[in-house]
Chain A
Amino acid sequence: AQSVAQPEDQVNVAEGNPLTVKCTYSVSGNPYLFWYVQYPNRGLQFLLKYITGDNLVKGSYGFEAEFNKSQTSFHLKKPSALVSDSALYFCAVRDTDKLIFGTGTRLQVFP
């Protein structure tokens, strides 16, 4: 079965510093991977996806993710964090015609 794991419940970072939110995956076949963000009292919003091609995927709000096949990872990154990036982040993997989500990582960016 397809699955993703987010090993950190929370990540704290100072504004202006780079941020990384970790995700590892377990799939049979080629992985289709996604990142979503959830702001307070809102639904999830799509950030970016990896289907095939370049290992560095660029998405919304200046976020990017690096696909690493040897480490089975798909970490979300941003060069310079903003306070407004504080939210809950979910990694997901496609499983036939549905998505399997990780448990989420809360990102706190401090001024």
Chain B
Amino acid sequence: NAGVTQTPKFQVLKTGQSMTLQCAQDMNHNSMYWYRQDPGMGLRLIYYSASEGTTDKGEVPNGYNVSRLNKREFSLRLESAAPSQTSVYFCASSGSSTGASGKNIQYFGAGTRLSVL
């Protein structure tokens, strides 16, 4: 059982280049999330998808787009990368948001380390 898988693990881009970060989960979870982690800032939510077919902005959505391709996959796209987007990106998933016992326990991928030069 792989859990949450992110690709690639590392990426270096030049300013203005585009790329897509891939995320897939095999836990049949409804909800998926994209975060960025920067020193001293903790985790900040970029976008999330509460269920297949829906996406919503998080705290820091500017410069990013997402696609919930199906229930398993949730991709994050940088259309024109900027140095301020240098960060570690994490994808997470969680089960149904209803029901007390499993509410919002999120399972995380190993992360993508992105540098924009």
Residue of chain A at shortest CB distance from B35: A101
**Contacts A51-B100, A101-B42 hold; do A46 and B58 have CB atoms under 8 A apart?**
no
Q: How far is the CA of A99 from the CA of B45 in the complex (A)?
A: 9
Asked whether B108 lies within 8 Å of A103 as measured between CB atoms, the reply is no
Asked whether A97 lies within 8 Å of B108 as measured between CB atoms, the reply is no
Interface residues of B in 45-64 (CB under 8 A from A): 45, 48, 50, 58
The number of residues on chain B lying at the interface, defined by a beta carbon within 8 Å of a beta carbon of chain A, is 27
The number of residues on chain A lying at the interface, defined by a beta carbon within 8 Å of a beta carbon of chain B, is 23
Q: Is A43 engaged at the interface, CB distance under 8 Å to the other chain?
A: yes
Interface residues of A in 29-56 (CB under 8 A from B): 32, 34, 41-46, 49, 51-52
How far in angstroms is the closest Cβ of chain A from B49? 10
Asked whether B50 lies within 8 Å of A90 as measured between CB atoms, the reply is no
**Contacts A43-B110, A102-B42 hold; do A94 and B4 have CB atoms under 8 A apart?**
no
Which one of B31, B40, B42, B101 contacts A90 once the chains associate, using CB atoms below 8 Å? B42
Q: How far is the CA of A45 from the CA of B90 in the complex (A)?
A: 12
**Contacts A42-B110, A43-B109, A43-B111 hold; do A97 and B104 have CB atoms under 8 A apart?**
yes
Q: Is B74 engaged at the interface, CB distance under 8 Å to the other chain?
A: no
**Contacts A52-B100, A103-B41, A103-B42 hold; do A46 and B105 have CB atoms under 8 A apart?**
yes
**Contacts A43-B4, A103-B42, A104-B42 hold; do A94 and B110 have CB atoms under 8 A apart?**
no
Q: How far is the CA of A96 from the CA of B56 in the complex (A)?
A: 12
Could you tell me which B residues sit within 8 Å of A by CB distance?
Answer: 4, 31, 33, 35, 40-45, 48, 50, 58, 90, 92, 97, 100-101, 103-111
14 other contacts beyond A97-B31, A99-B45, with CB at 8 A cut-off? Answer: A9-B40, A41-B111, A42-B111, A43-B4, A43-B110, A43-B111, A46-B105, A49-B105, A51-B101, A90-B43, A97-B50, A97-B97, A100-B45, A103-B42
